[in-house]
Amino acid sequence: MKTMGLWLIVVCALSLSVSTQEGNEGSAATAIRAREREWVVAQSRNDNHALDLIFDDSLVYVEYGRLVTKGDYLSRIKRAAPQLSQIVMEPMAVRMFGSTAIAVGIYRERTVQEGKVRVRRWRFVDTWVFKKGTWVLVAAGAAPLTE
Amino acid sequence: MRTVTLVMLLACTGTPSIYAQELSDIDVTTKIVAMEHMWSQAYVLKDPKALERILDDAFVNVESDGKVITKADVLAEVKASAVLQVLTESMVVHVHGDTAIVTGVVLIKGVERGKAFAQRERFVDTWLYKNGQWVTIAGLVTPIRE
């Protein structure tokens, strides 16, 4: 769902509309939204321990046409050089299928590279599975929105 | 969570019950790989009917341009398909109980508006065992830049 790098995050996504939306949903969907936010926060802090708990060991992540495993992802976070970036989550849709959940949404990524600010919006689709009492991410991917 | 590659491990590990479980996952993997191929062939044969059973009604796919398409969109796309050939270069299945994740690379060849095209794409699909059969509930495809 998110690209690599050390991110500074502006958490400004919890608008009233989102809160209302969550209030109307089941607790499982709310839990998925919470996990999505945990992921963003953990990544912003380079918190590999938290990410380790969020990601299933067999996680497959597709970005820019590449396949990234959990090990790849965590090692890249670990050695990521600081860069000024922001991720802002837009409202997402969560569909529940028993112990499986699909989250589809958009996030806005603002990066600063060589003094230039770049803002891109990405559509993501994440698959969560309820395992051993918690929701873990088993698959994820994102594609840049062409606007 | 096991992949097809674990088949080899079965020969030298495990109790009969574990063996049975592994076989079960292998069965699932075989079924899903077959359905992925059916999916590809539906585009070549312009046969949306073949996909009716494979795609869940709530299916969504994120396209390489970030757009989300539904089952109805896919069926319409298949009907008007310009695809002549789909070559599967790799496919790996991870089974998580009633859920399976498939990742792979396909080379798609076709002719659109008189022009031949070839596009290599990586995909990730989520399958769910629902009402006694496997259906796909979500997917994402991104082009592989050479």
Residues with Cβ within 8 Å of residue A68, at least 6 apart in sequence: A60, A61, A62, A76
* A100 → closest Cβ in B60, B63, B99: B99
Query: What tokens were used for A17?
Result: 């509309």
**CATH code for the domain in which residue B119 is found:** 3.10.450.50
Domain residues for the domain of B126 are 4-143
- According to the model, what pLDDT value does residue A85 have? 66
**Which residues 53-92 of B are in CB contact (within 8 Å) with A?**
58, 60, 62-68, 92
* A138 → closest Cβ in B96, B122, B123: B96
List pLDDT tens digits, range A25-73: 589 999 999 999 999 988 888 889 999 999 999 999 998 899 999 999 9
* A123 → closest Cβ in B58, B68, B122: B68
Element (H, E) at A128: strand A116-131
Ramachandran category for residue A117: left, alpha or beta (phi over 0 → left; psi -120 to 50 → alpha): beta
B27 touches chain A (CB under 8 A): no
**Does the distance separating the beta carbons of A129 and B65 come in below 8 Å?**
no
- Domain positions in chain A: 16-144
- Segment B117-123 shows an average pLDDT of 96
Backbone angles phi, psi at A65, to 5 degrees: 80, 5
Q: How far apart are CA B78 and CA B49, in angstroms?
A: 10
Element (H, E) at A31: helix A27-44
* Better pLDDT: A57 or B3: A57
- According to the model, what pLDDT value does residue B118 have? 96
- Segment A77-91 shows an average pLDDT of 75
**In whole angstroms, how far apart are CA A11 and each of A8, A34, B68, B95?**
9, 13, 25, 34
**Does the distance separating the beta carbons of A127 and B99 come in below 8 Å?**
yes
The A-side interface with B (CB below 8 A) comprises 56-58, 60, 62-67, 95, 97-100, 102, 104, 121-125, 127, 129, 131, 138-146
What class, spelled out in words, does domain A16-144 have in CATH?
Answer: alpha beta
| pLDDT averaged over every residue in chain A | 83
pLDDT level of residue A83 (50, 70, 90 thresholds): low
**Does the distance separating the beta carbons of B101 and A60 come in below 8 Å?**
yes
Task: Quote the ipTM score.
Answer: 0.84
User: Number of structural domains, chain B?
Assistant: 1
* B96 → closest Cβ in A97, A104, A129: A129
Q: pTM for this structure? A: 0.84
- Segment B4-28 shows an average pLDDT of 54
B6 touches chain A (CB under 8 A): no
